[in-house]
Structure 1
Amino acid sequence: MINMNAVVRRSLPGVALLSALVATPVAIAADAAHQPSPMFSHGMEDLNAGPSNANDAARFLAQATFGPTDADINSLLSMGYQNWLNDQFTTAPTSHLDYYRWVTNPAPDLDENAGSTTLRESWFLGALGGPDPKNNLIIHRDQLRQRVAFALSEILVVSDQNALLAQFPNGLASYYDLLVNNAFGNYRTLLEQVTLSPAMGVYLNMLGNRRADLSLNLHPDENYAREINQLFGVGLYLLNDDGTQQLSSGQPIPTYNQAQITAFAHVFTGWNWSDCTSAGFSTCGPDYNTGLNFQTPMAPFAAYHDNGTNAGNDLISKQLLSYPGVVNGGVLAAGGTPQSDLQFALDNIFRHPNVPPFISKQLIQRLVTSNPSPAYVQRVTQVFKDDGSASHVRGNLRAVIQAILLDKEARYGQWDQPDTFGKLREPLLRLTHFWRAMGATHHCGRNYTVDSPPNTVTYHYLNQPYRYAGYVTAWGTADSVYGSGVAQAPLNSFSVFNFFLPSYKPPGELTAAGLVAPEFQLSTDSLIANATNSTAGKAFGLDVSQPCDPDDDNGDVVINRGQDAALAGNANGGPADPATRLLDAYNTRFMSGQMSPYMRQVILNTINPISSADGADWRLQRISRALLLIQTSPEYMIQK
């Protein structure tokens, strides 16, 4: 049997950095368990009646949000799973494009220049929630919607690693809003809006893609045709409804061939910028003055679309995906328009039997567990195929997300499958969890002016607790492992294949056991070591109690250790005044009550000796050490 916590322990080269912090003045009992006790932990009540305790609530929120807070735990306990979900389904979405407009519009807005940091500020606003920086009376609390949008952004990938996209943060904000607004909508609608997004058109070369012209040796680009099938639609091989591969003579069966990709490439021709003209099809481009055409779906141009009627230049046969019950055998009739041909092609993909298990399993992986059982996948697949309503809707993401989170395996899998259930937490999600749990706000910074020819621009970071900025913390969450120790930012992956593959198997025990662990592909030795150092800096140094440097232009995102000071000790500290209440609170808030007796004792042995003799801030010292040890522990790293 494989224990994922143990695998993490063996893969952490940075753990030695913590040795100086871990003193053991009290011996640890030889029989102290390395696993939490499952006794009385497996719920007996109907799932819709839960959660039954704070730990169950925190665990649900770890899957459905960017990290539990005490307030959210109490709210979920009061509302119950179903009422909480219903509330989240109807909560107003946080708009990233609205944030971009607030930053860039002239007075009464900020009238600043925007960049990739602007998108990261708005993303953290959605991820952390709370008051809007423009109007503090508006509270952003669409946690589930934002969490699902992030999961979708790792399936339907665009990235600011693309040089043109990096110049238009409004285009990326518009794309992310598309994911946000469709997070509880229909997957077919989402697929069409993604296809016609200028950001996707730039990223995968559909924008400006034109019909073949053999006299000019021009052929349609196949990039989007391939990726919409391989990554956004049907995957590489035929699947059963439970996500397992169908086999023929012991070999997987491909879902498509090269000729079909070529046919799709011809379908995806004749689309360009919304403000383009037919005469300027080959020369039009992004609006470098306003960027507005990045915020409008691509427009069709029939003269540049292959509708199958030009025998001299164009592909005649358009055999798309073929499967039982497919319309017209999957063959696109000649003579259509760019719009009608696109509709046929997207329907052809969406109705393929592979789409429900292929997309459902990836959403389960992003939210709940890397290795869902075939039965779990099949239950969610059935909901994707038919949402159970009178209309029997296919692709209802609201129903799919509810099925994923309320499935018995999601709620009790940590006890029923203790050796295989769970997932390695993504570095970015570890950061948002840490910040949300510790009441993070933007701290310090000032209003400062710089020359930005032909204008002079003032940047506004003074008294902006909900404008999440700062190079070390928010802005530094990029592809570099250095500085932030995160190496992950929204819409920032190196390729269309995301930061990690859903099928990735780390070498060693997990591969031998036939288990996948996608997030391990991102967890390199360098990242783990730098993440440990970065976590130490956040746990020990960054706090709202720190004085501000008057020369600090942008400030940073900091935590509020003082919120937990009363839990850290009642008297003067030391072994006679243990920090058990603090550790109990952190066990729930960070680990959903799953901290093992062994880990609990190690941490108590480390923080209990700290007393008033160590300084007036001894309670904060206890908090900092507890946070560091929890955040870098193998038990926390694996979300169970």
Structure 2
Amino acid sequence: MTCRHALAFAVLASACAPEDAPSEASPSAEPLAEQRQPIESLERPSEENAIRFLEQATFGPRLANGAATPPIDSVERVVSVGITQSLTDQFNAPRSMFDGRTESRDLGAQFFVNAVRGQDQLRQRMAFALSQIFVVSQWDIPDIKSTPESESKLAMAEYLNLLSSNAFGDFRQLLEALTKSPAMGTYLDMANNKAFRPNGKPVAPNENYARELLQLFTLGLHKLNEDGTQQLDAEGAPIPAYTEAHVQAFARALSGWTYHGPTCPTVGRSNPASYARPLMACDVNHDSSAQVLLRGVSTTAGGTAAQHLEQALDNVFADPNLPPFICKQLIQHLVTSNPSPAYVRRVVNVFKNNGSGVRGDLRAVVSAILTDNEARGPRPPLAQYATYGHLRPPALFITNVVRWLNVRLDMSEGKDPGMKLNLWSRAQGQQVPRPYSVFSYYPPNAPAPGGNGLLGPEFAILDTTTLTARTNFVHELLYATPVTDGIDINIHVLPADPDDLTLWLGRYLLHDTMSSDLEVAVYNAITDPRAGDMTRRKKLALFLTSLSPEFQIQR
């Protein structure tokens, strides 16, 4: 199967499949089980497999470029020690942190510096994925004029560090930590959610956090099978995962929490916003009555706010919908937008039991995602190729390009390379960490345009404006002078010979899957007498390759 490539890549959804891939419509196409390629050993991955692994587990592969000791996130290191050891290295890498002090750099700038330079690439990728499931936006945390610090920055830094510290931990602990996070408390009204007025009269608690806890953070709208597919009733309609009564019950069970302070407020009153410590329980504002939660389980009558929070979170954590709902989204963020039901089921089984009887072990879950047969190998299974992968979201598109070019970020006075990278990302529709909606930068169930039912979440922010912004980013990175912004790319890593240059780009950026059409297009462009000197030819080759559908769709 072949396709043509337009410079403006207006047909991203039609990224080319390899010429030996069977057509979806071919009546002779063999079943997936019979077409699955031989899977390489995790201990001896090919270079192509190592590059694909780094695309999924980092903010972009990079080369060691002659370093005596290859970095743990380099292609050479993964080929040398294998994927199992590379995962262990990443789990143990020193953690990148966010600084919420007023005088520190913008959090989006910090994010991109960490993403480009941090050793803990997998932790950062996992935390970034979690931040798009458990959404908090810096836009919606107000600053208090009477205080010297920036509350929005302090709160968001705390929240991002919380996700990072729990990225490989216990999902139940993560759920409790984010429920008690003051940033989440402000964003979705968990903080100061009272069950009584100042006169002591009962009032229905705010349902905002309870609703999103069920709909977006744990269960989704409809009941799922363990392979991520929807359960249907006798009429073929999806079955709701919860009811409005459940939302109200969870809202009451989670009432009574406020910002940390020296004491609890009186009935119907609130503590002022404070972001240094988790929310505190104040029983005077809690509805202590028994509430019927999921699957008919009730909270304890007369229980405290802390007791009811534990019972509510235990209840939702034990729900059978949670593993497929969460695992499918993590696969979507790290590997492919349309994982097979079998892939989802295998990861769900690990979520349910990590092999030692532990439920919700995120380290085991991410290992299962990245070592699964459908994620590993030099290329995706041929029978799945046409539906495999995902459009690189703006942040990952940017970091993948700059990491291949061995970028140096100059953090000296007057320069802010991270901010420049985030401005490029914002122009493409993803300003970190400022999603415009609780559904994040794009919803996980957004359809791929013209995809006949396929999901393509990242396409939700792809339009004529952001499409042009992708082109402008690459052009400005290569042809403007980003070094003045503290971004120093190394174009010399690219070979000078046209044949070698074309092969280098296919070997690394596309892990040996460049189509013959793209090879010819790049080669003809850089050997044209009008292409300019050698430096401009290198830039043109990278420009064409990075904007091609084959690179834009990560497979």
TM range (shorter): 0.7 to 0.9
Q: d(CA) in 2 for partners of 1:543 and 1:83?
A: 36
The one-letter code matched in structure 1 to 2:109 is: E
Residue-by-residue CA offset, 1:34-56 (whole Å, 9 max, x unaligned): 736579x986455323312x222
CA 1:522–1:478 in 2, change beyond 3 Å: closer, same or farther?
same
2:496 equivalent among 562, 565, 568: 568
**TM superposition shift of 1:84:** 0.5
Q: d(CA) in 2 for partners of 1:61 and 1:199?
A: 31
Q: d(CA) in 1 for partners of 2:196 and 2:507?
A: 60
Equivalent position of 2:29 in the other structure = none
Q: d(CA) in 2 for partners of 1:201 and 1:176?
A: 14
Residue-by-residue CA offset, 1:450-491 (whole Å, 9 max, x unaligned): xxxxxxxxxx336xxxx6344xx2241464x3xxxx221222
Equivalent position of 2:298 in the other structure = 331
Q: d(CA) in 1 for partners of 2:402 and 2:370?
A: 23
The one-letter code matched in structure 1 to 2:287 is: D
Q: d(CA) in 1 for partners of 2:276 and 2:6?
A: 46
Q: d(CA) in 1 for partners of 2:308 and 2:215?
A: 20
Equivalent position of 2:402 in the other structure = 435
The one-letter code matched in structure 1 to 2:175 is: L
Equivalent position of 1:257 in the other structure = 243
3-state SS in 1 of match to 2:429: coil
Equivalent position of 2:521 in the other structure = 602
Q: Report the number of matched residues.
A: 520
Equivalent position of 1:326 in the other structure = none
**Conserved 8 A contact 2:130-2:163:** yes
3-state SS in 1 of match to 2:218: coil
CA 1:194–1:268 in 2, change beyond 3 Å: closer, same or farther?
same
Equivalent position of 1:242 in the other structure = 227
**Conserved 8 A contact 2:43-2:81:** no
The one-letter code matched in structure 2 to 1:237 is: H
Q: d(CA) in 1 for partners of 2:293 and 2:446?
A: 29
CA 1:271–1:164 in 2, change beyond 3 Å: closer, same or farther?
same
Is 1:229 the equivalent of 2:171?
Answer: no
Is 1:476 the equivalent of 2:420?
Answer: no
Equivalent position of 2:26 in the other structure = none
Equivalent position of 1:587 in the other structure = 506
Residue-by-residue CA offset, 1:597-625 (whole Å, 9 max, x unaligned): 110111010012359x94xxx22111210
Q: d(CA) in 2 for partners of 1:540 and 1:477?
A: 15
The one-letter code matched in structure 1 to 2:441 is: F
Equivalent position of 1:295 in the other structure = 276
Q: d(CA) in 2 for partners of 1:228 and 1:346?
A: 10
Equivalent position of 1:50 in the other structure = 44
**Conserved 8 A contact 2:190-2:255:** yes
Equivalent position of 1:489 in the other structure = 431
**Conserved 8 A contact 1:504-1:517:** yes
**TM superposition shift of 1:269:** 1.1
Equivalent position of 1:542 in the other structure = 481
- Structure 1 segment 407-426 matched on structure 2, within 5 A: 407-412=372-377, 413-426=380-393
**Conserved 8 A contact 2:5-2:518:** no
Equivalent position of 2:80 in the other structure = 78
Q: d(CA) in 1 for partners of 2:42 and 2:396?
A: 27
The one-letter code matched in structure 2 to 1:461 is: G
CA 1:42–1:260 in 2, change beyond 3 Å: closer, same or farther?
closer
Is 1:638 the equivalent of 2:553?
Answer: yes
CA 1:180–1:163 in 2, change beyond 3 Å: closer, same or farther?
closer
1:307 equivalent among 273, 288, 302: 288
**Conserved 8 A contact 2:232-2:238:** yes
Give me the identity figure in percent.
37
- Structure 1 segment 377-396 matched on structure 2, within 5 A: 377-389=344-356, 392-396=357-361
**Conserved 8 A contact 2:526-2:541:** yes
The one-letter code matched in structure 2 to 1:629 is: L
**TM superposition shift of 1:11:** 9.2
Is 1:186 the equivalent of 2:170?
Answer: yes
**TM superposition shift of 1:361:** 0.4
**TM superposition shift of 1:333:** 1.7
Which entry has the higher C-alpha Rg, 1 or 2? 1
Equivalent position of 2:291 in the other structure = 318
Question: Any stretches of 5+ residues in structure 1 without a counterpart?
Answer: 16-32, 105-112, 130-139, 287-292, 309-316, 323-328, 447-459, 549-554, 570-578
**Conserved 8 A contact 2:113-2:417:** yes
Equivalent position of 1:24 in the other structure = none
CA 1:307–1:6 in 2, change beyond 3 Å: closer, same or farther?
farther
Is 1:625 the equivalent of 2:548?
Answer: no
**TM superposition shift of 1:7:** 11
Is 1:274 the equivalent of 2:260?
Answer: yes
**Conserved 8 A contact 1:269-1:305:** yes
**TM superposition shift of 1:168:** 2.2
Q: d(CA) in 1 for partners of 2:7 and 2:287?
A: 55
Q: d(CA) in 2 for partners of 1:399 and 1:414?
A: 23
Query: What value does the CA root-mean-square deviation take over the aligned residues?
Result: 2.7
Residue-by-residue CA offset, 1:318-344 (whole Å, 9 max, x unaligned): 11111xxxxxx4111211111111000
CA 1:118–1:304 in 2, change beyond 3 Å: closer, same or farther?
same
CA 1:218–1:632 in 2, change beyond 3 Å: closer, same or farther?
same
**Conserved 8 A contact 2:7-2:544:** no
The one-letter code matched in structure 2 to 1:307 is: S
The one-letter code matched in structure 2 to 1:89 is: F
Q: d(CA) in 1 for partners of 2:314 and 2:486?
A: 47
Q: d(CA) in 2 for partners of 1:490 and 1:636?
A: 22
Equivalent position of 2:489 in the other structure = 559
Question: Any stretches of 5+ residues in structure 2 without a counterpart?
Answer: 23-34, 65-73, 144-149
Q: d(CA) in 2 for partners of 1:207 and 1:128?
A: 35
The one-letter code matched in structure 2 to 1:516 is: L
Structure 1-normalised TM-score? 0.76
1:64 equivalent among 35, 57, 62: 57
3-state SS in 1 of match to 2:403: helix
Is 1:125 the equivalent of 2:127?
Answer: no
3-state SS in 1 of match to 2:487: strand
**Conserved 8 A contact 1:58-1:588:** no
**Conserved 8 A contact 1:538-1:558:** no
Q: d(CA) in 1 for partners of 2:56 and 2:316?
A: 29
The one-letter code matched in structure 2 to 1:232 is: F
